Structures are given as C-alpha cells and as structure tokens.
Amino acid sequence: MKLYRVDYRSYTDGPHVMIDSFMVVKETPCGYWIEGFEGGRWVSATGKKRFAYPTVEEAIEGWRARKDRHISILRAKIAEINRALSVDPSLYQHYENRSTFRFPDRGDRKEFKDAVLEFVDTSELPSRYYDPLPI
C-alpha cells in the first residue's frame, strides 16, 4: 500500500507541483508507518490534518487546505505590515538603550536546544548582533 502527499517546490522556471508517494511499512489500528524517514514516520488514518493520504485526490485536497491556510496567514502578516507602514512618523517610538535577548556566544551554533538566553543591553552589542534602524 502507498500513501500520497502533494507539495510544490519553487524553481527558476516557476513552481512545480509534485506528488510524493510513500510505502506503508506497517498498518496499525489508528494509522500507518511509512518509510522514507529515519526511523519511519507515523501517519494518522483518520486525522483531519495528515501528512499523507491513501488516494491522490485526498492528497490534493489536503495540499489545497494547507496552502489556503498558508495564504490566510501571509495575508494577515501583510495587513499587519501595511498597518505598521501607515503609522505617522511623528508617532514612532525611539528606544535609546533598548535591550534584547541573544544567545550566548558559543562555538557550536547547532546546539540551540540547551542554550540559555541572556538579557543584554543592545548599546553594548557589536553591530553584527543588532543594527538599529536610523530614525
């Protein structure tokens, strides 16, 4: 048995919509284990939002639902940005010594899961950490 997932990838000549198929390794009462991932991946058989679907038609429907949600999120972000751009410059708030969070300087940047955030004053940071916009 196979499960299907539709997604797109952007290339220089435009988006390519692709149908990926995954072989089912094991079927359980509630879902499927599929191959193609280290250690496999479990996919619900009845969930509303599934990673992959039993038919191509369902996979297309799931992809369209994901992209509709993606579009609504991006539209909300665009609306927020437009509201920020419409603020009168005389109402801008200037922060002299604004503080921010940053990761401690560590040699291994890949291990963020156990990093502790430090509270620092941005006036002490080099510009590579914080480049304030001119007002």
- Convert the pLDDT of each residue in 13-56 to its tens digit: 999 999 999 999 999 999 999 988 878 889 998 888 889 999 99
pTM: 0.61
Looking at per-residue pLDDT, the higher value among 112 and 80 belongs to 80
Question: Would you give the distance in Å from CA 117 to the centre of its chain?
Answer: 22
Sign of CA dihedral 117, 114, 129, 74: negative
Mean pLDDT for all residues in the chain: 79
One domain for residues 73 and 117: no
Please give the tally of structural domains in the chain. Answer: 2
Query: What is the average pLDDT across 58-75?
Result: 94
The answer to the question of residue 62 being in a domain is: yes
- Measured distance CA(103)–CA(84) in Å, rounded: 28
68: domain range?
2-85
Give the pLDDT of residue 21: 92
Q: For residue 122, report the phi and psi dihedrals to the nearest 5 degrees.
A: -65, -20
The answer to the question of residue 75 being in a domain is: yes
Whether 34 and 52 have beta carbons less than 8 Å apart is answered as: yes
Give the pLDDT of residue 46: 87
